[in-house]
Amino acid sequence: MSTLQTSPSNAPLSTLMRDGSRAEHTAAEGSSYMASLLDGQVNEQGYADYLLRLRQVYAALETVGRELAATDPLAAAVHDPALERLAAIDADLDHWLGSIGPGSTGRTDELDSPAAKAYVERLEASREWGGLYAAHHYTRYLGDLSGGQAIGRTLDRTFGLNGKGIAFYDFAEVPKPKPYKDGYRARLDGLGLDADQKARVVDEVKVAFGLNQAIFEELSGHLAAYRR
């Protein structure tokens, strides 16, 4: 195997997923778009452009998830309608695009984002095996329930939002992320995958992080225009 692993391959799947993506996670935290956003240096258009990309990603993640969970036990083990983010993203877009007014880039239909397109294509391809889908599900939703919670609070403070425009980070149906995440990891660990299958899932988690990183890089290219 070409990748360095900090856990033995017989470790629980959730441990392998977390440890196997540690370097990618650190890279995502250090992206200049994220750093600028959390530092209050990205304007409304800059955040809306991120949400527009996430809208495409979650539309695919949630459509594929619903379909796959009906037939694939691995997808069914992670799929949970309580996590769905699409309506929250749309509500947030109303806030952010509404505050920009006419002349903004508009909704997602004409969005020109090679990074979002590549991410959607990979999500579509995860229909091949529920383990691949689970890797994408984990990367987005467990992140949203973890660091995402702090990101939402920082945005609230930085933009003086009083809770408006950050529905994306508000999981009304998951009031306590910690026990939810513990249960989620237990479901992953109970899937009974063999070492090769686990390695395939971990590789896909890394791919998923890379696709998120590509979105940040795309947005980082516009930081001068987004300056607040």
Q: Which residues bind ligand HEM (CB under 6 A)?
A: 17-18, 25, 28-29, 34, 138-140, 142-143, 146-147, 150, 209, 212
Nearest residue to the partner ligand HEM, using Cβ? 147
Between 100 and 222, name the residue whose CB sits nearer to ligand HEM.
Answer: 222
Residues in contact with 193: Cβ distance below 8 Å, sequence separation at least 6, in sequence order: 13, 131, 201
The nearer residue to ligand HEM, 34 or 78, going by C-beta atoms, is 34
CB 37 within 8 A of CB 46: yes
Q: Residue 116: which of 108, 128, 125 has the closest Cα?
A: 108
Tokens of 217: 């890089």
**Rounded to an integer, what is the distance from CA 176 to the centroid of its chain?**
19
Q: In angstroms, give the least distance from the CB of 17 to ligand HEM.
A: 6
Q: Which residue's CB is nearer to ligand HEM, number 6 or number 71? A: 6
User: H-type helices in 21-146, by residue range?
Assistant: 22-29, 32-38, 44-69, 73-78, 86-100, 114-125, 130-137, 143-144
Q: State in angstroms the smallest separation of the CB of 98 from ligand HEM.
A: 26
Q: How far apart are CB 85 and ligand HEM at their closest, in Å?
A: 12
Q: What is the DSSP letter of 227?
A: B
Q: What amino acid occupies position 221?
A: G
Nearer to ligand HEM, 8 or 102 (CB): 8
CB of 102 to ligand HEM, least distance (A): 31
Nearer to ligand HEM by C-beta: 17 or 120?
17
Closest to 64 in 3D by CA, of 142, 116, 17, 125: 125
